[in-house]
Amino acid sequence: MKFKSITGTKDILPPESSKWHLVEEKLRSIFEAYNYSEIRTPLFEETALFARGIGQNTDIVGKEMYTFQDKGGDSLTLRPEMTASVIRSFIQHNIGNDSPLSKFYYIGPVFRQERPQAGRFRQFHQFGIEALGSQHPSIDAEIISVAVDVYNAFEVLDYELKINSIGCPVCRTSYKEILKSELMKVIDRLTAESQKRVELNPLRVLDSKDERDREATQNAPLLLNYLCQECSDHFEKVKNFLDELEVKYTVDGRIVRGLDYYTKTAFEVITKSLGSQDALAGGGRYDLLTEELGGKPTFGIGFASGMERLMLMLEKSENKIFSEPTKSVFIVSVDDFSRPKSLKFANMLRRDGISADMDFNSRSVKAQFREANRKNARIVIVVSKDDYDRGELTLKNMTTGEQAIVKITALTEEINKI
């Protein structure tokens, strides 16, 4: 019997995995520059956490969660996103008591039983940040600017930032009634999916991608025009901060996000380069969530981005982050005498922080050079008895083809010069 990975999941194999490392490293350095610290939460949680934190009427909770009963009879779920877990952890460890503002970032796998297609997986990876403890519009602007900084830092420029305000319970409740009654007038022209949403989650009808829904709702009232004074002022200030930061955006009254706990600022980063899976990142404010999950009322805002989609964008642009050569060394042994010496040199270089590898199959010198090329080694060291007896080695720069005899005692130094 041959086993295969589960539909919608994939192996990340070398050399792809090295690219993931490079990208993750860069993400970490961006988040840390903004003073966000990493949080790692478990891959599974109580089902109720997500049902409550994400909302019963969302696609995620309604149909996409991997939920199972463990042997003790508890209902558990593989995390379909990270925010609920971060908040659960924040509450559990009383983190809010330590500092008025807590800033976290995460990178890790999440699970959703969606229909797999290009750019859409069942196990995929999200990176993102959350800031807990401030209601000031400046933090909204910071979060949004980190989201776009990520794409700018990777020179992914074919994206668009869309922002909106989805108000608060005060303005949203009355608006929902207005929207519902307008949607009822065109209900026959909506798709079956949207018809179902009119009652339970009418805002979602507005962000349907289906042409029929778009057409039927083109004159629908937008929440943006029904905001209460506080939400409206907040949105104006967020825009002013973004202008100050020279972050380009368009205001799109149809960005609603799928999740119930969002308040005020909502935003998406989208691209035209990935076909129908056009969302790169999404985020927003969730001032009601911490209380909803049993904590003290705490303001919060964050975003989540898809790692696979960022990788697809980087592949398309042949990003130079991947072409910067690494200083890897391959050691070629000319004779049996040299093999143990090669191993010793490899270990010596590794301890000096240089990546080194060698042949472990007693192959010919030619085959060893082929292997060095296959492994993209930048430098080859050739070890032979004659050279060794003189305290020397041959060093070949594989980029330029130049070759030189160097002293064994100066090996690391010579390599570092290349």
Rounded to a whole number of angstroms, the minimum distance from the CB of residue 106 to ligand AMP is: 12
Among residues 47 and 113, whose Cβ is nearest to ligand AMP?
113
Rounded to a whole number of angstroms, the minimum distance from the CB of residue 377 to ligand AMP is: 34
| Binding of ligand AMP by 81 (CB under 6 A) | yes
| Binding of ligand AMP by 204 (CB under 6 A) | no
Of 41, 265, 271, 305, the one binding ligand AMP (CB under 6 A) is 305
Among residues 31 and 121, whose Cβ is nearest to ligand AMP?
121
Rounded to a whole number of angstroms, the minimum distance from the CB of residue 361 to ligand AMP is: 40
Among residues 260 and 392, whose Cβ is nearest to ligand AMP?
260
Q: Which stretch binds ligand AMP (CB under 6 A): 24-32, 88-96, 117-125, 163-171?
A: 117-125
CA angle 35/148/159 to nearest 5° reads: 165
Other CB atoms within 10 Å distance of the CB of residue 251: 13
In the bound state, the residue with its beta carbon closest to ligand AMP is 306
Of 120, 136, 180, 375, the one binding ligand AMP (CB under 6 A) is 120
**Site for ligand AMP, residues 262 to 281, rule: CB under 6 A:** 279-281
Rounded to a whole number of angstroms, the minimum distance from the CB of residue 295 to ligand AMP is: 21
Rounded to a whole number of angstroms, the minimum distance from the CB of residue 225 to ligand AMP is: 25
User: If we measure between CA atoms, which residue out of 64, 60, 82 comes closest to residue 126?
Assistant: 82
Number of residues in contact with ligand AMP under rule CB under 6 A: 16
Q: Which stretch binds ligand AMP (CB under 6 A): 121-129, 293-301, 324-332, 405-413?
A: 121-129
Among residues 204 and 341, whose Cβ is nearest to ligand AMP?
204
- Residues in contact with ligand AMP by CB under 6 A are 81, 112, 114, 120-121, 124, 126, 279-282, 304-306, 308-309
